[in-house]
Structure formats: structure tokens, C-alpha cells
Amino acid sequence: MGEIWVGGAHAADFLNQTLTNDLGLLAVGESQYTLMCNEAGGVIDDLYVYRIASEAFLLMVNATRIDADLHWLEFQKSNHGEDRSVKVEDQSEQTGAIAVQGPATPLFINDLFHGDGLITAERPSVLVKNQVDAWRFGTGEVYVARTGYTGEEGFEIIAPNEQLVALWGQVLEIGRPHGIVPAGLGARDTLRLEMGYPLYGHELSEALSPIEAGCGYFVKVDKGEFTGRSALMKQKDERPKKKIVAFKMNGKCPPPRQGYEVYNNLEAKKEVWSVANAGLKPQETDPVIGVVTSGTQSPSLSCGIGMAQVHIDRAREGTAIDISIRGKRYPATVCKKPLYKKQ
């Protein structure tokens, strides 16, 4: 991940005019999911913003987007007037994050840190969703947040590089009696896809808006002026032409993967595309209606799942679609998110 600090007397106003969610809702020690858009409403990045102090914000951004984010933040700063007190500082090279996720994590998270939090929380386990606090660890200070990208209970720990190795070791040791195991991006990706969470470069890009990506909830058009607002308001009013949807494969088939084409379901199509189409070319009677943006085999559901960008008319829950895999059509169904919810 990337870690960018934004501070100064005008930091809150500056960020609220640069990000889509309402920063005014954040008290010190709280965080929110938000998006950074360009004027056309395309997504520069999606991120978490943590209010560490009244005039200090930590932005947790995608590692692949650090340069683009910094560039955009500096550009926005210059637009907002140089006289205002806003400081942007990239700490990505000096900072790392460990996500400690799973139902047992509240049972041992307190054993990692001594005493009260430096903001308001008594102990890490009492942090509520999206709350953040700081604790001393070794010779440094680390941030512990009740956030995550897995759909599970859990915490994210943001720490200076010097503390990371010791922290990783202690997390594994203290979590061992609770069955902790190290997990990489592959495991993270199946978990976030079962939840239907978007990932930058897949469901989010500069060519797609948060409305089209299904993140409209995090665009607060009523909060006042912010970059991309007029374009996003227009989209909210008019209904976008394409949309990101979640889907499940209907039977045994190869796992869907990014880039596979989406078609109307062959069986359903027979009724919709009747004799009237006789004489038309295949691309006219059986057009590509979308593309898979992410896909995997769901370990929890034991079937292929994914997300796709489809024409708005094919975005309704229950719509039968086909995914083309190496030229063969496999049926799938557009489903409500999350695709999997733990009982």
C-alpha cells in the first residue's frame, strides 16, 4: 500500500474538495472509504482516509497509484491557492501495513500492544468499525484500525519499516494458538471478490466513474463542491450506460479471469433474439455485452465467481449471461453483492 500524509490548517477542507466521501463526518480517530476523481468523474484512486489528528490525515492508497495520487494532490493544491496551509508528504517508502483479519483477531489483538491508545481508545479490541488509534510498539508508534478488505472481522496495522519485521513475528506468534496463518495477495483476492469489493485496475479506473463501479454510496454530492461533482451528479440523475456487476458461474467450468468477454446467455437469447434477426451478422445478433474485470474460483462457494463491466440492460440481479473462455461459452448469473456471506 501507499501511505500519504496530508496536514495543515486547511487540510480538512482541501481533502473534502478532492475526495468524494464526506470528510466532515470524520472525528479524530475515525476513518472512511473514499475515492479521488478527476473532473470527468473517472477514478484516480480509491483509498481509506484516517483522521489521526484534527489537522493530520493519513491516506492509505493503492501502491500502484502512489505517483498518480501525489501528482493529482499537488495539482489540486495548486488549484486551491498557494496561500492555504496544506502539506502533502509521501511516507510510502518508510511505512508498511499488515492486515490481521479473521473472526479470532479480537481475541489476541490486545496482546500486541500495552496500555491505552494515544488518541481515545482504551484497548485495540474495543475499536469499532472504521475507528483508528495509535499504540507504541518497540521504539516506534503504530496505527491500529478496525478496517480491512476481506469481509471478515479484523484489524489493519500501519507501522514504520523499522517495526514491521518484529510486528509480523509477534502477530504470528501471538495468533498461533488461534490458528493464524500467513496469507498473500491470492487469498486476499478470493476474499475481496466473495464480498464484491472493487480493486483498482480491475473494477476502478480513470475511464470509469464510482457510480458505474457501484460505489455511488461513497459519492456525497450534497456535501458541497468537490472535484468531479458535476459529472457524477449528472450520472446519478441520468443512469449510467454501463455498470460493474458481480456474477457466479452456473456449473463446473474454468475459473473466470480478467479480460474474458461477456455475452447474452445463449439459451435466454433464443427467446429475446428471435427470427427477426435472420440475415444479420453474428456480431449484430450476438454482440459482446461486457468484459470480466476480475475472476477467481471461490473457496467458500466452490464455484467460479467474478465481477464484470456490462451494459446497463444486463446489470439486473438474476440476468443470465455467458462468459467466453477460450472460445467456449459458459453460463453465469448476475448476483447481488456480497456473493458470499458467512452465516
Residues making contact with another protein (CB under 8 A): 186, 190, 252-255, 257, 296-297, 299, 326
* Exposure string over 47-59, b if 16+ CB within 10 A, otherwise e: bbbbbbeebbbbb
CB of 194 to another protein, least distance (A): 13
21 three-class SS: coil
Write out the three cell numbers for 69. 495520487
Q: Decide if 254 contacts 262 (C-beta within 8 A).
A: no
Tell me whether residue 190 or residue 209 sits nearer to another protein (CB atom).
Answer: 190
By C-beta, is 37 or 339 nearer to another protein?
A: 339
> Is 155 in contact with 148 (CB distance < 8 Å)?
yes
Closest distance to another protein from the beta carbon of 289 (Å): 23
Closer CB to another protein, 186 or 282, in the complex: 186
Comparing CB distances to another protein, the nearer of 239 and 326 is: 326
Distance CA 44, CA 10 (A): 22
User: How many beta carbons lie within 10 A of that of residue 161, not counting itself?
Assistant: 12
CB of 255 to another protein, least distance (A): 6
Looking at 167-287, which runs of residues are DSSP E strands?
242-249, 261-264
| Rounded distance between C-alpha atoms, residue 146 and residue 187, angstroms | 20
Which region holds residue 318: left if phi is over 0, alpha if psi is between -120 and 50, else beta? left
Smallest distance from another protein to CB 332, Å = 14
Report, in Å, the least distance between residue 260 CB and another protein.
Answer: 11
Looking at the Cβ atoms of 61 and 199, the one nearer to another protein is 199
| Interacting residues of 96 by C-beta distance below 8 A, sequence separation 6+ | 1, 158, 159, 160, 161, 164
- Judged by beta carbon, residue 115 or residue 327, the one nearer another protein is 327
Smallest gap from Cβ 182 to another protein, in A, equals 15
- Give phi and psi for 165, each to the nearest 5: -65, -45
Closer by beta carbon to another protein, 32 or else 296: 296
| Count of beta carbons in the 10 Å neighbourhood of residue 235 | 20
Minimum distance, C-beta of residue 283 to another protein, in the bound complex (Å): 26
